[in-house]
Structure 1
């Protein structure tokens, strides 16, 4: 861990705070887009994707074997499988769109950098950067806690059986259940090989932690920087119109105002274009995440009711993590959409009526464009806090019904 990584503050410059936590997380896996694809990075990518892919195949194979014989244990296997599969897909998408993400990051940084030249706007960006860093740490620690519980549970159970029950022949079960290649992995009689498999499966949990935290943190960071760019644009429009309409506006002032507004509209178009490119990269990742997260959340609620012991704590943490992930996507998109639409209020309540017809038409164009919002276009739905509330409410209703039935 880099020294002082989590010692961030609002006084940090944009160069330091820009995607700070996401950069560290994704660099660990070799998936940070601006980094060069050298030999070391390629080796890390291949190892991490291969191990994660093998774990996914082993877990779905075991779930298939247990499906008819022990459905409860099969459900216990499916949860990590779904999470790892979604993580693998997201990391592959990051690899495919690596160059495009690098360009988007560069354009977004340059756009925000121009806003930091103004003290007030710099304070707004610093505040958002600080919030992003804190939330990314929360996501990372939540995923880390869940993965550690999965990895330590077999050791805790083994220690209890070995020292309390004095069962000297017990094996340490694997951190994640998988048929690699056996249904009962204790058939691997070589303890060195078994230990190696244990470490590889535990590492797949680490890859999942960093993969989910990095991808979700990057999504939130993109959205929040786009959102604060709209906030800065609101200040620009407000001050520009106010400075030219403070007194009786003259024809010459109308021309100057028109030129100043044209420059601001170009900045608005730049933000819209960056967000559209970002939308193209993330839309299928977000779609598949919501689909599989809904399934995972349902399975987790069933497991919470049927499983006892330390496993209940694991799935309680799992449910919290699934909720945090959904909230991250919904909050990010909601923030962008809200601040884009808020631009219409800023212009409507300005003294636009003092301007000539040409300037009024320009302001009207901005109003129409801003009213469209900047909703993330995902197949069949768009993330929002309203959607998040609906998912949580529905999950709570199903949980209550299951609790009453079981």
Structure 2
């Protein structure tokens, strides 16, 4: 997130001048991000008239850039800062006070999160490398094969941008600018995906830990005492987790809605490039990234729903029948609250689930069939 220019907390750097220069770097990167959909859209009518296949690829990039820009600006809000600080604080408390079993649950989710984020990093880096390599190789072939370069011929570039000047004349500079833009975009894609995945996996891990506390709260009751104090502490933890997920929902629901809404068209346009035989490897990787991104988002959201519904059975598995009357009343209230699942919503259209993601994939298939015909 620091490299992407969207980190809003204090920078853990030893040099003061880096903290002073970073705001300027962030502004420059944001200008690059904001210009992406604009430059692609301004060139789209020309491509649509002269090269429909290239126009389809440009449309795919436009649709991919729009939710990316929304994510980048959404993740710089105060809510995102709260999500990071809250998760770090809870992790510090967990390692200080939790037992080994609870720590093992947390460490299992941390390991899974790290592996998933590394996989995202490698796949996005591979896609970015292919796109950069494609632009460099095509430019090299053009300059080597076309000895007498005609001013009418358009020199190849990896991104179909519109420029207010003759890009053929400044081809080397334009190519360098596009390669840097691809690198920045790859960094931003990794940043937003790892951030959202980390929030989802952290929430799921906290729900698993809360289940363990619910099913074993009776073990912490001192002989002759009652469990009201311990139950109230668990109630507070549950309420804090609900508040955390509500803030995550406020931060992510617009992003999830955009991604859910246009993922089918993104997939259809990318699949058309594969069918047309244009940049097959790059577009296959692009399709794989879109599908995995959609399914991972849906599966993580689905897991939050499932694990939140498991809180009530976990509480019922405890020895609640050995508690006093006040504790049993509190347990009854907690059971009633646990019947309402937690979720990440698609805007105002209900929770994001694997079923909803599969409907997007089916719709993408239908779009591809229609556009192919």
> Which deviates further from its counterpart, 141-150 or 225-234?
141-150
Q: In 2, Cα distance between the equivalents of 1:343 and 1:277?
A: 21
CA RMSD of aligned residues (A): 2.5
Q: 1:388-399 alignment to 2 at 5 Å?
A: 388-396=357-365, 399=368
Using the TM superposition, give the Cα deviation of residue 61 of structure 1 relative to its aligned residue in structure 2, in angstroms: 0.7
Query: What is aligned with 2:14?
Result: none
Residue 185 (str. 1) matches residue 162 (str. 2): no
What does residue range 324-363 of structure 1 map to in structure 2 within 5 Å?
Answer: 324-363=292-331
1:125 is the counterpart of 2:106: yes
* TM-score, structure 2 as length reference: 0.88
**Pairwise CA distance, 1:261:** 0.7
Are the structure 2 counterparts of residues 233 and 55 from structure 1 closer, same or farther at C-alpha, using a change threshold of 3 Å? closer
Compared CA separation, residues 226 and 66, structure 1 to 2 (3 A): same
What is the TM-score with the length of structure 1 in the denominator?
Answer: 0.81
Separation in structure 1 between the aligned mates of residue 228 and residue 52 of structure 2, nearest angstrom: 68
Cα deviations by residue, 1:256-286 (Å, 9 ceiling, x for unpaired): 2111111111111111111111211111122
Instruction: Write the mapping of 1:259-270 to structure 2, written as runs, cut at 5 A.
Output: 259-270=229-240
Are residues 1:144 and 2:113 paired?
Answer: no
Q: Does 1:35 align with 2:5?
A: no
SS in structure 1 of the partner of residue 164 of structure 2: coil
Q: How does 1:32-111 map to 2 (within 5 A)?
A: 32-35=7-10, 38-95=19-76, 97=77, 99-111=78-90
Query: Contact 2:213–2:234 at 8 Å: present in 1 too?
Result: yes
Aligned counterpart in structure 2 of residue 371 of structure 1, from 325, 333, 339:
339
Change (3 A) 1:149 1:28: same
Counterpart secondary structure, 1:35: coil
Q: Does the CA contact (< 8 Å) of 1:104 and 1:274 recur in 2?
A: yes
Residue from 210, 215, 226 that aligns with 1:238: 215
Displacement, 1:317? 0.6
- Write the deviation string for residues 366-386 of structure 1: whole angstroms up to 9, x where unpaired: 222222111113322421222
* CA positional deviation for 1:122: 1.2
Taking a change above 3 Å as real, the CA distance of residues 84 and 199 of structure 1, as seen in their structure-2 partners, is farther
Mapped pair 1:208 → 2:222 = no
Contact 1:139-1:324 at 8 Å conserved across structures: no
Shift of 1:149: 1.8
2-structure distance, mates of 1:199, 1:292: 30
How far the C-alpha of 1:108 sits from its partner, in A, is 2.1
Distance in 2, Cα, partners of 1:196 & 1:368? 64
In 2, distance between residues paired with 1:198 and 1:166? 18
**How far does residue 174 in structure 1 lie from its aligned partner after superposition?**
1.7
CA distance in 2, matches of 1:39, 1:198: 30
Distance 2:298 2:258 in 1: 14
| Gap regions ≥5 residues in structure 2 | 12-17
- Which of 144, 156, 161 is the equivalent residue of 1:173? 156
The separation in 2 between residues aligned to 1:203 and 1:158, in whole angstroms, is: 16
How many pairs were matched up? 361
